[in-house]
Amino acid sequence: MVKTGAVVAAMTLALAACGGGEEKKAPPKKTSPSSGGAPAANTPLQTRPLAVGSSVLVDLMALDRVSPKAVVARWRIRNTMDSEYSFGPALKSPWNSPKVDSNAVSGISLLDGKNAKRYFPMEYNNGRCLCTREWPTVPAKASKDLVAVFPAPPADVTHMDALFPSAPPFLDVQLGSRPVEPVVVDSGGGKADPNTLKAGEPQVFPLTEQVDDDSKAQDDDGNNLRVRLSTDVLFALNKADLTPKAQSALKDVAAKIDQSAGNTVQIDGHTDNSGNDAINNPLSDRRAQTVKAALQRLVTRQGVEYRTKGHGSREPIATNENAEGRRVNRRVTVQFTKPKPPATSSAAPPTSQAPTADGKLPVIGTARSGNPPWIVKNDWPTNAEVRINELRRDRHGYVSLVWTIRNDDAKALNAWSSSYDHSGIYAEASTSAAAIVSGQLRYRALRDSEHRVTLGPNLISTDQKEYMVEKGEEYTLWAMFKLPPEVKTANVHIPGFLQVQNLPVG
């Protein structure tokens, strides 16, 4: 039994057309309940199941570059249940993004892997989304079309990943071409021009890749590397003298600086909010100076300038309300220009790994319940299982991790708590706690560099009845990662479950 009973109450909104001559509201069409504009081809490019199971399927019907400035994406939602399915606000833009049209499918996005960018739908200057403007409800035994207009990527981008919050990602979708035409954006027939000159600023954001080991975390935003060294590993409590274990971590950082073409290294010391400024400020400064002295000895390249600053507790990157967040905040950060990556093949993945037409997901590995997430340590079911459905690369090295949680315990399983990084590094309640492990390295989910939003489902806006997995139910989740090409097999860790070992990366 999949989670088909977790259906949000219908929230059909009557949205008026915008003023200012930007749209023209047409009479309602009696022949179709769809709001996706002109019909796309009948054959989907790819099909994926919704998180609640294959009783609701998501067809990606088209991804077309309609002009040098716009890409139009069309989806068809097919509901095979005897009851309607409502998405509620699960497809809206994340709460802390600059998007302001919350009554729309503004959280659907595209991943440009060639340039490490995430694209959200375009908007008019008045804040209305150039996308379906409603919280979609799909009638029983029926379908509904959705549409979104995105900023076009550079002309040399031929494939993109389509990220639909409530379903696994659509990978390596080839951009088609189609003549530009108005798209229907509301249930009353109101249309929008994908090439309107009155569109707002494109919402395109760089991505951050995070990789951890026992002593440090590395954030890669495409231009710079920011290595966050844990002061718990580098120094004794309230001290600024390096520990023996610090030497290995600093040698690794020095090797990356040697490979960098930049000539400036910024070193910043930080503490948590324990103690007071009279202690924290000089301590953070001394620790930054100590790391600088060590790197000057270890880096072999000439002409590097080192700058240091102590910030005390003034610039936390995580919460100070729990132990994990305070641990993350105790750090020395070393930032420098990202070394040029080695050349890699951009060959497309084998077609045999593409999603099946019926949207059903395979199972490539399983694990039973393990140590519970601390936030629900007294309410975690012992008779539950995680099933890894997909660990698949696109042509640019971005990896889709898809997993299904099954609960056979009388105690309900909160999928939100098993997925969310409560340290506060990531914004948004999504799947940011999932990790792919290879050797000593722990690869974390991709996030938006500007707003810290995970490339995963929008759980904070999903109805609680969906992610509370009752006995006999299943729920599917996903997240996007970036893995180097040499990682051919890996372990997957979903908090609350044992690691799933030795999975091939497709």
Q: Report all structural domains of the chain as residue ranges with CATH numbers, in order of start.
A: 46-203 (2.60.40), 207-337 (3.30.1330.60)
Q: What is the pLDDT of residues 216-264, one digit of tens each?
A: 999 998 889 999 999 999 998 888 889 988 988 999 999 999 999 999 9
Cα–chain-centroid distance for residue 137? 25
What's the pLDDT score for residue 13? 32
Q: What is d(CA 307, CA 213) in angstroms, rounded to the nearest whole number?
A: 25
CA distances from 503 to 172, 327, 390, 489, 499 (A): 21, 31, 9, 5, 11
What's the pLDDT score for residue 54? 85
- SS3 of 6-54: the string is CCCCCCCCCCCCCCCCCCECCCCCCCCCCCCCCCCCCCCCEEEEECCEE
Tell me what percent of the chain is helix, strand and coil, each rounded to the nearest 5. Answer: 10, 35, 55
Low-confidence ranges of the chain (pLDDT < 50): 1, 4-40, 346-353
Q: What is d(CA 46, CA 76) in angstroms, rounded to the nearest whole number?
A: 11
Q: What is d(CA 233, CA 227) in angstroms, rounded to the nearest whole number?
A: 14
Q: Is the separation of the CB atoms in 7 and 83 below 8 Å?
A: yes
Q: What is d(CA 439, CA 259) in angstroms, rounded to the nearest whole number?
A: 22
Q: What is the pLDDT of residues 76-106, one digit of tens each?
A: 999 999 999 999 999 998 877 766 678 899 9
What's the pLDDT score for residue 417? 77
Opening angle at CA 457, ends 464 and 109, nearest 5: 140
Q: Is the separation of the CB atoms in 168 and 361 below 8 Å?
A: yes
β-strand pairing of 204-212 with 447-448: antiparallel
What's the pLDDT score for residue 118? 95
Q: What is d(CA 30, CA 155) in angstroms, rounded to the nearest whole number?
A: 39
CA distances from 372 to 369, 375, 381, 418, 474 (A): 8, 8, 8, 8, 18
Q: Does the CA dihedral 193-196-198-203 come out positive or negative?
A: positive
CA distances from 221 to 225, 247, 338, 339, 380 (A): 7, 26, 9, 12, 35
* Cβ neighbours of residue 486 closer than 8 Å, sequence gap 6 or more: none
β-strand pairing of 176-177 with 53-67: parallel
Opening angle at CA 392, ends 206 and 218, nearest 5: 40
Provide the whole-model pTM: 0.85
What's the pLDDT score for residue 20? 32
